[in-house]
Amino acid sequence: MRVLGVDPGMTRCGIGVVDARGRQVTIVAVDVAHTKPEIAPHQRLLMISNAIEEAIRLYRPEVVAIERVFAQENVRSVTGTAQVAGIAMLAAAKASLPLGMHTPSEVKAAVTGNGRAEKAQVQLMVQRILRLDAPPRPKDAADALAVAICHAWRGGATHPDRSQHGGAGMLPRVEGNDLTPAQRMWANAERLSRRHGAVEPK
C-alpha cells in the first residue's frame, strides 16, 4: 500500500509518501510546501493545493492520510490549519482516493507507543522505522511521514474511509501473529489513551 500523509499547516505543510509491505515501511518521498504570511490567504491555499495535487500525480498513492485538527489557543493558527486540511481532503476526492484522518495522539502512539510523545521522539522513531541516516527535517516532514506510517499500521487499507470517524470500533488489535512489537505497543497505548480521554492538541 502506498500512503500519502499530510501534516496540514498554512506556513509549512508536510507531505510524506511511504510504501507499506506487511511489516516493512519504506520512504518514497517527503517534502514541505512553504508559504509566506504576507501572501494573500487564498493564494497560499492555492500553492499548497498545487503541491499536494502534484505529489498525488507524481507518486500515485492508494490512499491519503491527514492529521486531524484540534482547537488550540491560537485561533488564527488552527483556522489556517483546518483550511489546509480541507484542501488536502479535496485533493483526495478529486483524485478519487480514499481518505484516512488520525488524531495527533493516534499518530504519536503509532510510531512511538506513547500518545503523548514529544516531537523529538516522533522524529527519532520515524528515522528508525524508515531506516534513515538522520531524522527527517523540518519537523513538518517527519510529522507527515508519521501520519502515513500511522495509517499503514492501523489497517486503514481495508476500510480507509472509516478511520476518519474514530470511535471504539476503530481501536487497533492488540493480539495477532502478524503484529510487530511496535504495533502491539501502539495498540495498548492507544486503548489506554482512549480510556482516559487523552487527546493531545497539536
Q: 31 a known binding residue?
A: no
Contact 113, 185 (CB under 8 A): yes
For 178, phi then psi, to 5°, come to -85, 0
57 vs 7, 52, 95, 189, 194, CA distance in Å?
18, 9, 9, 35, 36
Q: What share of the chain is helix, strand, coil (3-state, %, to 5)?
A: 50, 20, 35
Is 140 one of the catalytic residues?
Answer: yes
Residues 81 and 101: their CA atoms lie apart, in Å, by: 14
67 in active site: yes
- Answer yes or no: 19 catalytic: no
Strand bridging mode 63-67 / 2-7:
parallel
DSSP 48: H
Tell me if 7 is assigned to a ligand binding site.
yes
Catalytic residue among 31, 54, 67, 133: 67
Question: Following DSSP, what letter does each residue of 104-147 receive, concatenated?
Answer: HHHHHHHHHS-TT--HHHHHHHHHHHTT-SS--SSHHHHHHHHH
Q: Report residue 6 CA to chain centroid gap.
A: 5
Catalytic-labelled residue, pool 19, 54, 140, 178: 140
| Count helices and strands in the chain by DSSP H and E runs | 6, 5
Which residues are documented as binding site for Mg(2+)? 7, 67, 140
Residues with active-site annotation: 7, 67, 140
Give the residue numbers of the binding site. Answer: 7, 67, 140
